[in-house]
Structure 1
């Protein structure tokens, strides 16, 4: 009988990891995972006409404005200016010393 050569630990790990990575990449390429499960029953659409709820857009939303930022967000505000330096005293030493 011909014996297969003993594989190193790294080679075994690589051979086990390759199919897992391949399957992961294949599943990541799917847009949705709904069509993968063969046991789920498909929901049937209810009969009737479909009409948009807000055909002119959601009332009260201005689509030309950027979204509001949270109160603690500094996005969009100019950076704070540093505090002015203390004026240097000239000539006299502080009193009390």
Structure 2
């Protein structure tokens, strides 16, 4: 489990390619993580709201100190943190699904 700050992508990135080659979709439940493999599903829990969301890693980042994940706009809304910009979260990876 990791704990730190989460931020979310600005809408200007909607439609741009991510590090995985996918296009960022602000309406999808996705995230950027510095080291987890692309496609990994992670649970993100807001320590502010207590809400949780499952997102899929599609990009690399964040690139600022203490930030551990960048979330899509949809994920930030699901957590109730979209108005805060940055919020304290915990996250952990779900087990991989067999092929």
Q: TM (normalized to structure 2)?
A: 0.14
The structure whose residues are more often strand, as a share, is 2
Higher relative contact order (CA 8 A, sep 6+): 2
Q: Output the TM-score relative to the length of structure 1.
A: 0.14
Higher helix share: 1
Q: Which structure is larger by alpha-carbon Rg, 1 or 2?
A: 1
